[in-house]
Amino acid sequence: MGHKAGFVSIIGKPNAGKSTLMNALVGEKMSIITPKAQTTRHRILGIVNADNYQIVFSDTPGVIKPHYALQESMMHQVEGSIVDADLILLVTDIHEEYDENDVLKKLEGSLAPIAVLVNKIDQSDEGAVKKKIEFWQEKLNPKAVFAISALHDHNIKAVMDFVVDNLPEHAAYYEKDALTDRNDRFFASEMIRAQLLKQYKKEIPYSCEVVVTAFIEGEKLYRISAEIIVERESQKNIIIGEGGKMLKIVGTYARKDMEEFFQRKVFLETFVKVIPDWRDTKNYLKKFGYIN
């Protein structure tokens, strides 16, 4: 039996439970999440390595109509990661009103086997789940449909077995080694970004970029500095908030997430910097890894 490896694209609407699923699938087995994420067409979420296989789970940025250069490059990633996928997991939520046409449109270009994962079945009853499964079987004729609860780990092992069974024979795409410092920086920036999404109104987080400028690992303490980059003074003021209140909240929660993740005390400094129109400036997009 040779070595298997492949890209498994997890697609679906933003609230369908993709990240919970990812955590459940990768679990403790996650040996690396790579910052190469945004530099390729894949946003790589996690890589599971075993002796005889490597699964590269990748996410597609939410399906949106492109408004400017950044989003266009993200949409190319969606299409790219669907076209390049060896296997597609379509995550749909049991409450979804069958209106996933935007996602289905993207799937038309794909030849990869598809499994539909009907998630959050813990919030439903058997009849509804059955209806949903029948709908997807008819609509997509996928290779498999799984009723799962990512949150409660229900049926996750079956999904994992399906993935391994359907991986093509291929050498590993990425080194099978442990986390590197660069990955840790990537995690740190993602944790700050998550707080920006959580704490501010919609438009603000999308005009922000997070760059980790220093990451010093001490035995007991990690010292991390990060810049939040925005396009305008007015955005900077919103991010900082009255008397620095908002930025403090972001920093506090992000630091807690980091401490839990790195299992270390973290000293986090955040600065806000204005770079006019960075989203439409190709060299910044390049620097932030959105364009190869």
First to last CA, the chain: 35
14 marked as part of a ligand binding site: yes
CA dist 109 and 82 (Å) reads 8
Distances (CA, A) of 200 to 203, 220, 235, 276: 8, 32, 11, 20
Structure tokens at 66: 């492109």
237 marked as part of a ligand binding site: no
27 marked as part of a ligand binding site: no
Between helix 245-262 and helix 181-199 the angle, nearest 10°, is 140
99 marked as part of a ligand binding site: no
17 marked as part of a ligand binding site: yes
61 marked as part of a ligand binding site: yes
49 marked as part of a ligand binding site: no
DSSP 8-class letter at 58: E
What are the residues whose beta carbons fall under 8 Å from the beta carbon of 193, sequence distance 6 or more? 205, 208, 210
101 marked as part of a ligand binding site: no
15 marked as part of a ligand binding site: yes
Question: Which value, to the nearest 10 degrees, does the dihedral of the CA atoms of residues 283, 287, 288, 292 take?
Answer: 80
CA dist 180 and 35 (Å) reads 10
109 marked as part of a ligand binding site: no
Q: Which residues pair with 154 in a beta bridge?
A: 149
51 marked as part of a ligand binding site: no
243 marked as part of a ligand binding site: no
Structure tokens at 237: 């003021």
122 marked as part of a ligand binding site: yes
DSSP 8-class letter at 149: B
80 marked as part of a ligand binding site: no
What are the residues whose beta carbons fall under 8 Å from the beta carbon of 257, sequence distance 6 or more? 191, 194, 195
91 marked as part of a ligand binding site: no
63 marked as part of a ligand binding site: yes
Structure tokens at 159: 């999904």
249 marked as part of a ligand binding site: no
Structure tokens at 291: 């364009």
Specify binding-site residues for GTP: 12-19, 59-63, 119-122
Q: Give binding residues as ranges.
A: 12-19, 59-63, 119-122
